[in-house]
Amino acid sequence: MTMFSSRTNWDLQPNRLARRVAELRVEAKELLDLTESNPTRAGIAYLDAAWLGELSVPAAASYDPEPRGLLAARAAVRDRYRKRGVELTAERLFLASGTSEAYAHLFRLLLEPGEAALVPTPSYPLFDFLGDISDVALIPYSLHYDGAWWIDMDELERRITPACRAIVLVSPNNPTGSVLSAKEGDELCRIAAAHDLALIADEVFADFILSPSASAAPSMAAEDRVLTFTLGGLSKSLGMPQMKVAWTAVNGPAALADEACRRLEVLSDTFLSVNTPAQLALPAWLARADEARTAIMHRLKTNHRACLQSVADPVELLHVDGGWSVVLRLPATRSDEDWCLLLLEEEGVIADPGATYGFGSGAHIVISLLTPVDTFRAGVERIAARVSATRQ
Ligand SMILES: Cc1ncc(COP(=O)(O)O)c(C=O)c1O
């Protein structure tokens, strides 16, 4: 259809799995949904009336637009980083109404139409759309697994083309849960500097570490060797995606970082997208962030433990450092979508096929550690039993 731009010419048909889930829901079939990744629907008690009360303060009646975000809100984000040992200035922080918006600003800031950014795979499925709508190409670099996740830096470097302007990294990554090691962080900085690339570090899951490792890289928000943009936000840190507040921290060599801030300020000023009540509430919310984090961590750990207990050969639970999901490797006797369909039809279990996240070879399924614990345990046990039975 010529009325519409080619960048929006997506195949929007639901896939076989989504269609079948919808049909079974209409039939009111009882399903064990292991894909619940919305913290507000996961039955975790952390949001009380006091959190919401912070939204109704007299100052919320007036509009005092500030392109980077209200100073008190940015100062609260800065203080939160300080608690984690990362020194930032509020001037180098920008609020956005979600990391999607932050990504779109950064792609516009750094890339001409048609230029490219390197992105990890498997990773966040939204990258494809974020690239499309910003008219930029995304070049995947692989995360490899051999008992732990790692980046093949030679492969990554070979993938850099003259049109490449940035490297995106996600740590902990969604859905692999892998955390960048300090050595990998150093290598990425070396490669970015050698090729004149910026780093975009998505650290939205940084508060949720399940297997602390001494070799983990520090936050990229402390990086000063290359121009670095570090993303975080309330969707994960407070389990409050509905409040639509995220941030970008700008770091790196002073001249570059200052120029980036000047330009980002205009991009942000063009939208002024973060609503005032949420900005005003941010200091009080971040002061209570540990409460939300503790409640969410408890759910993640309980479910991760259930996985460790229930999963056995021929199902493999891939090692997870952090984040909100786990990956199960199933025998490659059928595709991941076919496994998901089988598990749905025979066991009433909903899981995400790894292909959704860019898993190529093998059969991987992704399940959410936010899932209510009884559903999670029952679902994982059914997966283990069914996969084992198909082996006999
Ligand atoms: C890698 C990654 N980045 C960012 C987000 C959060 O995005 P937003 O801040 O737009 O809610 C998610 C949510 O699933 C994610 O997986």
Q: How far is the CA of 333 from the centre of ligand 1 (A)?
A: 32
Closest ligand 1 atom to Cα of 236: 6
| Residue 392: C-alpha distances to residues 248, 253, 314, 331, 385 (Å) | 51, 60, 11, 13, 11
In this model, does residue 189 exceed pLDDT 70?
A: yes
Q: How far is the CA of 311 from the centre of ligand 1 (A)?
A: 28
Return residue ranges of the chain for CATH 3.90.1150.10: 12-41+290-391
Whether residue 108 contacts residue 267, with contact meaning beta carbons closer than 8 Å, is answered with yes
Return residue ranges of the chain for CATH 3.40.640.10: 63-287
Cis previous bond, 65, omega within 30: no
Q: How far is the CA of 129 from the centre of ligand 1 (A)?
A: 13
Q: How far is the CA of 388 from the centre of ligand 1 (A)?
A: 34
Question: What six digits make up the tokens of 127?
Answer: 């990258």
Q: How far is the CA of 150 from the centre of ligand 1 (A)?
A: 21
Is any ligand 1 atom within 6 A of the Cβ of residue 241?
yes
Q: How far is the CA of 99 from the centre of ligand 1 (A)?
A: 6
Is any ligand 1 atom within 6 A of the Cβ of residue 251?
no
Q: What average pLDDT does this structure show over 354-367?
A: 96
What is the CATH code of the structural domain delimited by 63-287? 3.40.640.10
What digits encode the pLDDT tens for the residues 220-258? Answer: 999 999 999 999 999 999 999 999 999 999 999 999 999
Using pLDDT thresholds of 50, 70 and 90, give the confidence band for residue 284: very high
Q: How much is the pLDDT for 28?
A: 85
Q: How far is the CA of 313 from the centre of ligand 1 (A)?
A: 32
What is the CATH code of the structural domain delimited by 12-41+290-391? 3.90.1150.10
Mean pLDDT of the chain: 96
Among 207, 235, 237, 357, the mutation site with the greatest number of ligand 1 atoms within 8 A of its Cβ is: 235
- Among the listed ranges 45-59, 192-206, 320-334, which one has the minimum average pLDDT value? 45-59
Between these two residues, 392 and 350, which has the higher pLDDT value?
A: 350
Q: How far is the CA of 215 from the centre of ligand 1 (A)?
A: 25
Whether residue 249 contacts residue 224, with contact meaning beta carbons closer than 8 Å, is answered with no
Is any ligand 1 atom within 6 A of the Cβ of residue 98?
yes
Using pLDDT thresholds of 50, 70 and 90, give the confidence band for residue 152: very high
Q: What average pLDDT does this structure show over 277-298?
A: 97
Q: What average pLDDT does this structure show over 115-127?
A: 97
Q: What percent of the chain has pLDDT over 70?
A: 99
Q: How far is the CA of 239 from the centre of ligand 1 (A)?
A: 11
d(CA 266, CA 268): 5
What digits encode the pLDDT tens for the residues 160-178? Answer: 999 999 999 999 999 999 9
d(CA 158, CA 149): 19
Q: What average pLDDT does this structure show over 81-99?
A: 96
Q: How far is the CA of 204 from the centre of ligand 1 (A)?
A: 7
d(CA 127, CA 79): 29
In this model, does residue 392 exceed pLDDT 80?
A: no
Is any ligand 1 atom within 6 A of the Cβ of residue 124?
yes
Kindly report the backbone phi and psi dihedral angles of residue 81, in degrees, each rounded to the nearest multiple of 5, phi listed first.
-65, -40
Among 231, 236, 274, 368, the mutation site with the greatest number of ligand 1 atoms within 8 A of its Cβ is: 236
Q: How far is the CA of 220 from the centre of ligand 1 (A)?
A: 17
Is any ligand 1 atom within 6 A of the Cβ of residue 120?
no
What digits encode the pLDDT tens for the residues 93-116? Answer: 999 999 999 999 999 999 999 999
d(CA 188, CA 168): 10
Q: How much is the pLDDT for 2?
A: 83
Q: How far is the CA of 174 from the centre of ligand 1 (A)?
A: 9
Is any ligand 1 atom within 6 A of the Cβ of residue 233?
yes
Q: What average pLDDT does this structure show over 10-16?
A: 91
Residue whose CA lies nearest to ligand 1 atom number 2? 124
Q: What percent of the chain has pLDDT over 90?
A: 95
Cis previous bond, 314, omega within 30: yes
Is any ligand 1 atom within 6 A of the Cβ of residue 246?
yes
Is any ligand 1 atom within 6 A of the Cβ of residue 248?
no
Among 40, 174, 240, 247, the mutation site with the greatest number of ligand 1 atoms within 8 A of its Cβ is: 174
Is any ligand 1 atom within 6 A of the Cβ of residue 101?
no
Using pLDDT thresholds of 50, 70 and 90, give the confidence band for residue 1: low
* Contacting residues for 247 by C-beta, under 8 A, at least 6 apart: 69, 74, 77, 93, 94, 95, 96, 102, 231, 232, 233
Question: What six digits make up the tokens of 232?
Answer: 């975080």
Q: What share of the chain is helix, strand, coil (3-state, %, to 5)?
A: 45, 20, 35
